[in-house]
Every structure is written in C-alpha cells, then in structure tokens.
Amino acid sequence: MTQMPTAALLSLLAAVSAAHGERVSAPLPPECAMTMARIERAMPAVEASLARLPSNSLGRTHASAIHYWASTRLGELRAQRQWETSLFPRIAQELDWMDELAAAATAGTSLLAWSEQRQVPARFAGATTAGRPVEFDCAVHLPGGVAAKTHWPLIVFLHGYTAQPTISGAMREFPAAAAEGAFPFITVAPVLPYERERAGGWEPDEVIALLDTIERVYPVDVQRVYLTGFSMGGMGTWRTAMQYPGRFAAIAPVCGSGDPATLYRARNLPVWMFHGDRDTSVPLYSSVRMKTALERLGARPLLTVYTNVGHNAWTPAYRDPRLYAWMLEHSRDALPPPPPLRTPQLIRDDYALDALCVTNAPRLALLCAAGTNSLFDVLDSPDDTRKAVIRLYVAGQPYGIVEDVTIDAPVGCTTAALSAPLVIGIPVTSTNAPAGLSLQSLPAARCVSAVYTGPLSASSLADAESVLDAFATEQALTPTSQTRMHIRYFNWRDNRGTFVIQRICN
C-alpha cells in the first residue's frame, strides 16, 4: 500500500481535537490537495481501463462501481472547504484507496484482480419499489477467483449506530478469514449516512433496493443470500427480513431488537441471534422475546448468549467460523414450509392472540338509518350475553355520545383501516337500539376468529388482523377488509381487555 504523508498528519489533527473534546473544523492540509491532484491526473487511465473491459462483464460492472465512488467522492472533497478534524482519518483512508486505484490503473493492473480478497470501496445506485432513488457507499469484499464461478453466496452486513459511519469501518468486525481470502462469500457492507442514522436507521425498502443492485452487478446465488447486522444493524436485519422474508436464506441479528408481531411472516426462516448478558444498550430480553415468539410459532431459532459481555456481542459473533458454516447450510429453495399458525399465538410482550379458528360470522348488526351519515357495527357476543361493540363515526370523525343508551366502557381506537373510531360497549336487544338505528340480520359468512387479550389500539389490532389474514390464507379462505369485535372484558382505566376479533372472509 502506498504510504501517504497526509495520513499521519490527518490522524494527529483528529486526535488533538478529540483530546480537547472539541468539534473543530479546518481545511484539508496542502498535502491532501497534492494527492487529489495526482489522483485526478490518473483518472483518465482508470476510465481507459474501464473502456477496455467487455460490456456487462463482472470486471466492468465492479470496476465501474469503484470508479463511481472515487470520482464522486473526489468531487465532494474538492467542493467542501471545511471538514471536521474528526473526519480526517476517514478522508486519509479514502485518499489511500483512490491513490492505489489510480496506481493500479496506470500500471495496467486489472481492477478486478486488484480488488479481490480485500475490502474495497464502491458506490451503488438503485431505486426502491416506489421509485425513490437510493445510493449507498459500500465496503465490498470479493473472494479470490470470483470470476471463475457464476454463483457465489452473498452476505449483506448492516453496521450499528456510529455517528460517523465510514467505509473503512463498515466491515471492521468481519473475521480475519475474509481479509485472508479464505472467505467463500461476496460480502457487501453499506454505509448508512449520519442523517439517516438519526432519522431512524436502516429502512427495509432501501436495503432491498441495494440488494437488487448487488444481484445485478455480481454473480450472486440468489438462493443463498444472508443478512446480518449488529445493534442498529441488528434491528435493521429483523425489520428487513420480516418485510421481505422471501429474499433471504437465513439471518443473524446481533444484539438487535425486533417486533414479535411480525415474526409469523417468516417463521420458516433460519435465525441465529447473538447477545451479551450484560448489554445495557439493547437488553438481552430483546433477543429472548424474539426467540420465545418464534418457538411459539413452531420455529427453532438459535440464540447464543455471551457471559459477562455488554453491548459488543458482535466481536465474538463475527469471529466465530461456525456462523458462516451455518449460513452455508441453508438455501432459500430448500427451506421447509412454514409451520401452521397455532395457538397460543404470541404477538408482542403486552398482547396476544389465542384460539385461532374458523367460525361462522355473527349475523346481527345495528345499521344506521338512511341519511344519518354514521357508521355502526354492532354484533352479538359469543357467550350470548347480548353484549355488543359499536364502532361509531359521524362524517368520518369519532363521536362519543349515543342518546338513550347506557355506555358501559369508552374504549379508544379499533383498527388502523378506519380513522380513529370510538368503540362503545352497550347491551343490545331488538328493542333498545339507539334512536334512528335498527337491528338487522346479515347474510351468513365465514370468518377466522381469535381471542385477543391486551390494549385496544389501532396498531395492536392491525397486528392481530395481519395474523388472522395469514391464518385465513392457510385455511384456503380469502380475507376481506371487514373486522368485527366483541368485548368479553374491558377495563377502561388502563384501556386493556379481552376481545373476540373476527375477520370476515369470502
């Protein structure tokens, strides 16, 4: 590697400012300008080497991603006059890479051969399914002889929160075997810009947009794509895999947390979790509850707990060669079918579904008279106590008073599909319907039903509806958008209770 005289200087300036606890901005030293000028003079050689490569070849697409990063990053360094000194070591590493790239191209070295068996920078552009453009700087590691095979396993690695994400740091926790060339995976570690870190971390749509691009650029075996990440990246791993379970053969979240409500979507996906027992940033319970939820779904997840380890579970996890051997045991086209949904069905820590079954839908509803511009949905309760639930709207807004009816329990919201409804539990007979309403029979219908216990809120019931929809599909039924509920028990003081939720099906 070419030794740059600027690297030590930049690191020294960063250390001085850090020692004083200051965020200091300064121009890059003159040596950096000299290095950038040398790189710019060599760029025509890089572009000429690209032009000599066959179109759409691996060497061309890979080298183009490296060149795209180098040229755009060089322009960014030129355009900005002041930099935080804490970023100087990162900039020094980037200039190092650019200098090596330029030297390799000038000497006529194949850029593919130059970048094999080492981490190199690249920039990839893509678009989400909604058409939103996405770009990621990435650290890329290619195994030796990558062009000799048409299909390689792929690992996508999502880093944790850093406040200063860098390409050089994106893959720093991967094992020494990768750097030595004995790593039989194409590995891509995207860098999440700081502003997107602060905005909420890894977005599944963006991760999938990057994956789409990677699969076009490199000879990836799409049946053996593995997703992993630590801390914020572990959370991104859970979110992405649950939203796009069909894209991965296995996942390995490290000290991350996820939403148990989403696990039913990928209950046949192999999962190996890692966590430290003394983690105070993301407590061990975050992984334990995911393991428990998966086991209740009939899955067999793995969880490794490191004794006397805090948040840094990633170092021992990613240095364990058994993780990579385990990944290679799994292929997407060989995954078993998902186990049938069964009960008790854990949703989240504070609410659950039980007694999933197929039943006949209730046949009584309280319907509004013509011209009232209101919506009611009143149903018999299963135990025939004539208790019922009203979902009441006036002109699309919640309405909290029903005349001539005793209100037993003001509840809150029902489903996310409706705009902030108010649910009112009332005793209903054919003679005490609210003024202007009538109790009418409904056509017979099939439904999937479950007993829900927990808080009544839009998000919790939307989760329950998603599970019921998945269960309906397993039962060869087509769920509609109509949900009906019955109150069995409700404590309005803490907004919790037990309800029968029924999803009407065709």
Return the domain boundaries, the chain: 1-111, 116-339, 345-505
Least confident of 4-18, 77-91, 326-340: 4-18
Mean pLDDT, residues 46-62 taken together: 83
Give the CA count within 13 Å in the CB-facing half-sphere of 401: 1
Mean pLDDT, residues 260-277 taken together: 92
Q: How many CB atoms lie within 10 A of CB 265?
A: 18
Topology adopted by domain 116-339: Rossmann fold (3.40.50)
Provide the residue count of the chain: 506
Do the domains spanning 116-339 and 345-505 agree at the CATH topology level? Answer: no
Percent of the chain residues past pLDDT 70, beyond the cut: 71
pLDDT at 393 over 90: no
Confidence of residue 51 (pLDDT cuts 50, 70, 90): confident
**pLDDT for the residue 22:** 55
CATH architecture label of 345-505: Alpha-Beta Barrel (3.20)
pLDDT at 150 over 80: yes
Mean pLDDT, residues 430-450 taken together: 60
**pLDDT for the residue 146:** 85
Indicate the pTM of the whole model: 0.76
What does the mean pLDDT of the chain come to?
76
Largest CA distance in the chain: 93
In the DSSP assignment, the letter for residue 333 is: G
**pLDDT for the residue 195:** 79
Least confident of 135-139, 274-278, 295-299, 425-429: 425-429
Percent of the chain residues past pLDDT 90, beyond the cut: 28
Contacts 24+ apart (CB under 8 A), 143-148: 143/116, 143/117, 143/181, 143/183, 143/184, 143/185, 143/186, 144/116, 144/117, 144/181, 145/116, 146/58, 146/112, 146/116, 146/186, 146/218, 146/219, 147/58, 147/59, 147/112, 147/219
379 phi and psi angles, rounded to 5 deg: -130, 150
pLDDT at 265 over 60: yes
pLDDT at 392 over 50: no
